[in-house]
Amino acid sequence: MLRPWQPPSPLPTAIAHKNTPPRLKFRRASASTTNASEEDDNRSQPGKIRRQVLTQQGRGKLDLRSDRDFYAYPRFVTHVDGGFISALTELYRRRLQSGSEVLDLMSSWVSHLPEEMEFKRVVGHGLNAQELARNPRLDYFFVKDLNRDQKLELESSSFDAVLCTVSVQYLQYPEQVFAEVFRVLRPGGVFIVSFSNRMFYEKAITSWRDGSDYSRVQLVVQYFQSVVGFTEAEVVRKSPGGRKGGEGERPWYMGFLELLSGSSKDPFYAVIAYKNFKPVYE
C-alpha cells in the first residue's frame, strides 16, 4: 500500500552547519578603549611627555611669591665659584660648535661661553631685564616666568644648543619645559643642564631641596627621560680639587672641614642629551 510522501526531516543543527564557515562576530571598540589607544599613540610621538616626574607636593616652594617679584631687583653676583665656571666653560668648548645658534635658558648677566668661540646667534632668557642687558654674549633676550607659562615663543627647530646653568632647581614644571626645549632644538641639537649644590633655598622645589647631590642628578636624568626623543642622558661630574666622579671618592669628613675653614668648593654636575633623529623607546 502506497504511503503519502513526506519531506525528509531537517538535519540537526550541529550536522547541517558542519561544513558551513562560522559567521564572524565583531565587537565595536568602546570609546574608552579607543581614547586610551589614541592617548598612547600621542605619548609615543617625539617631543611628547610620556610621564610626569614630579608629584604635586614635589613641585612646591617655601616662598609662594611669584618668581617675577622675587627677581624684580638685579643681582650682579656670581652664584658658583671659579672652579665650577671653568669646568662649565671647558664643557661648552668641547660640546658647542662655532657658528651655531644658542639659547641660554634662565640666564643672567654672566656668560659662561668660551670667549674665543663665535656664534651665529645667542638668545637669552631670564627674569630680570637689567641682568640680561649686561650679558655681553647675548644678541637678543626675553623675560618670561616659566613657572607661569612654559611655552617658548620661539620657532621650532631653530637652535643648535640650549643651555641651562644653575637654575633647573627652580622649575616647577620641568617636564613641560624640557618638551619645549626639544621642540626648539634642531635634530642633533644638544641640551646641557648644569648645576651645583647651591640654591635659593626658599625658591627651589621640594624634590630638589629634600634630595642629595646624587638624587638631584637622577632627577634631571628623569626630566630628559620624560620627553620622547631625547637620547640617553650623559652625566658629567667633577668634584672639588679637579677629581672626576662623585663626592664618595673623598673622605666623608673633608666636606665638613672645608666648610668650617671657609675653603669649601662647588661640585660640578652636568646632564647632557641630544634631540635624536629618531624617537628613543624604553
Note the pLDDT of residue 36: 55
Report the run of H or E that residue 186 belongs to, with start and end.
Answer: strand 185-195
| Res. 59: pLDDT tops 50 | yes
pLDDT, tens digit (0-9, with 9 covering 90-100), for 128-153: 999 999 999 999 999 999 999 999 99
Note the pLDDT of residue 264: 56
Calculate what percentage of the chain has a pLDDT beyond 90: 62
- The residue with cell 679637579 is 242
Burial of 141 (0-12, 13-18, 19+ CB in 10 A): middle
pLDDT, tens digit (0-9, with 9 covering 90-100), for 77-102: 566 778 999 999 999 999 999 999 99
Note the pLDDT of residue 199: 85
Report the run of H or E that residue 101 belongs to, with start and end.
Answer: strand 101-105
Phi, psi of 273 (to 5 degrees): -150, 160
State the Cα angle at 107 between 103 and 111, rounded to 5°.
85
How far is residue 170's CA from residue 281's CA, in Å, rounded to a whole number? 28
- List the one residue out of 237, 231, 264 whose CA is nearest residue 249: 237
What does the radius of gyration of the chain's CA atoms come to, in whole angstroms?
29
State the Cα angle at 208 between 125 and 218, rounded to 5°.
95
Predicted structure pTM score: 0.77
Note the pLDDT of residue 67: 82
Q: Which residues of 156-180 are buried (b: 16+ CB within 10 A; e: fewer)?
A: eebbbbbbbbbbbbbbbbbbbbbbb
How far is residue 85's CA from residue 73's CA, in Å, rounded to a whole number? 23
pLDDT, tens digit (0-9, with 9 covering 90-100), for 174-211: 999 999 999 999 999 999 999 999 888 899 999 999 99
**Is the four-CA dihedral 54, 56, 57, 61 of positive or negative sign?**
positive
Residues comprising the chain, all counted? 282
How far is residue 4's CA from residue 26's CA, in Å, rounded to a whole number? 47
Torsion of CA 195, 222, 161, 276, to 10 degrees: 160
DSSP state for residue 170 in the 8-state scheme: G
DSSP state for residue 271 in the 8-state scheme: E
DSSP codes joined into one string, 11-45? PPHHHHTTTSPPPP---PPPHHHHHHHHHHHHHTS
Question: Which residues have a Cβ under 8 Å from the Cβ of 211 and sit 6 or more positions away?
Answer: 219
Note the pLDDT of residue 132: 96
| Res. 257: pLDDT tops 70 | no
**Assigned C-alpha cell, 77:** 653676583
